[in-house]
Chain A
Amino acid sequence: MALVRRDSTTAPDDDDPQVLGRRLTDPDAEIRRRAALGLDGVAEAVPALLARVPVETDPAAREAVLTTLAALDRADVAAGLVPHLASDDAALRTAVSGALAAMPASVPALLPALLANPDHDVRIMTAMVLADLPHPGAADWLAGIVATDTHPNVVAAAVDALLPMAGPGHVEVLAAVPARFPGDPFLRFTIDAALPALREAPA
């Protein structure tokens, strides 16, 4: 038979963070990708990893950089990622929002500034982060956006994120939305569809 057994597994690669840090800028994308993964848990590598985020052209390598960064749920990482929510590059801003959505320890401190950002696109991305952030305060932050934001698309994003976690306590703030944006057919439709079940839900 030609089912062969060989000890063909490979020896583990270099683990020295210094070496891996240098490899983050190697011309070969696979080397960069492996280096980023190999720096899992290495806090000293944060500046070098953050530096790659806006310039890494290989999608798999960028994913690896963000996977390693997101696991380091630290203030310096979150602060370094948040500016990219304003990027014109949709791939970059959505990839960064995905990483931030996995960082419940460090993102909350940055929310006040994000929620007050004059760029409504940044506030929309913030609602996207809050939709997935595993933090018990997410519903309240989203309700705050629904109650006070002036841009209908930001409120729409927050409504969508809030509804799955909403309870009867959110009925009032949600019910006020159509009147705040009378020209918006989507918000009218969505709130009208959601309120009945929400009014009946247990507290």
Chain B
Amino acid sequence: MTRATPTEEFRLTDAEFERLREYFYKRTGIQFTPAKRYFVDKRIEACVRGSGQPSFAAWFSALRVGDRPEMLQALTNQLTVNETYFMREDYQFDALLDPVLPRLLAEHARAGRPRGPIRILSLPCSTGEEPYSIAMRLLEEWPEIDRVDVEIHAADIDSDVLARARHGSYGARSLQRVPKPWLAKYFRSVTAGRYQIEDAIRGAVTFHRVNVCDTHAMRVFAGFDVIFCRNVLIYFDELSSRRAAENLFGALRPGGYLMLGHAESMSRISPIFTPERLPQGIAYQRPTGASA
């Protein structure tokens, strides 16, 4: 039996680990292998202690009932990487450059809009690393960027992080994956170790304060070609995540793409998107087709 007393070492039994593993997989679709055992034990210990419950069994029993969504949120928080930084999960930006943008551009051209605009939404944008990363990748690596108009919109529920995003200054940790030539080209040093992204890029991103679960508020977004919604849906309970998925669906144009975080899946959330295999991984499409 695992008790969370301060003097005793906290360790899950094999049976407890299995139960937790199965429960987390069932709820989120995320697997963690037995190889991550030590890491998981530490994180669960933090959850149990933080909850005030006397033991793993009591904590897990309360978690399992499901009537306190904040418990699963806290667990998910512990078990996933939450940090934001430039070029995070950039294989998805690779996917954007190829094959997503060429496909979208071909569709726009067929519809008589060879110059776009292509509309991209980053939500949640947090402190801005994601939309600014997209901007730099497009400017540096998309051959069509001089010929085609691209709108980048960014949204978050938190006005403080939005203020920081608009301001656009970052420290070394956030910037460590930015190629040095790009740092020199697109940022200027503001204080020791902090850099601010240049005005032209800051000015090119439109920021909005929006809650993805709020259907009325999300109505401001429509006809987007690509939405990056990474590492937020996983924290929502059943009904909130369903509503968020519906709102994201409505923000896309038919044929538009939704990118989730690399460990996330729509499989526990909503069947309304069509999964699409890209070379870099799975993305989701709003279906095209008759609306009868």
Contacts and interface: CB of A to CB of B under 8 A. Distances in A.
Interface string B205-244: 1101000000110011111000000000000001100110
Given A3-B204, A38-B216, A197-B15, A64 B246 contact: yes
Instruction: Name the residue among A2, A57, A132, A200 with the largest chain B CB count within 10 angstroms.
Output: A2
A2 B18 CA distance: 52
A4 B204 CA distance: 6
A101 B138 CA distance: 44
Contact of A1 (B204, B270, B287): B204
Contacts of B146: 1-2
B219 A138 contact: no
Interface size grouping (class) on chain A: 35 or more
B204 A134 contact: no
Contacts of B5: none
A1 B238 contact: no
Contacts of B23: 164
Nearest to A137: B65
A63 B248 CA distance: 14
Contacts of B22: 164
A12 B215 CA distance: 10
Contacts of B117: 4, 6, 8
B291 A29 contact: yes
B148 A2 contact: yes
B116 to A, nearest CB: 8
Interface in B1-19: 1, 15, 18-19
A44 B220 CA distance: 26
B271 to A, nearest CB: 7
Interface stretch (B91-99, B149-157, B256-264): B149-157
Give the top 7 A-B pairs by smallest Cβ distance, nearest first. A134-B66, A3-B204, A197-B15, A9-B220, A60-B272, A134-B67, A202-B1
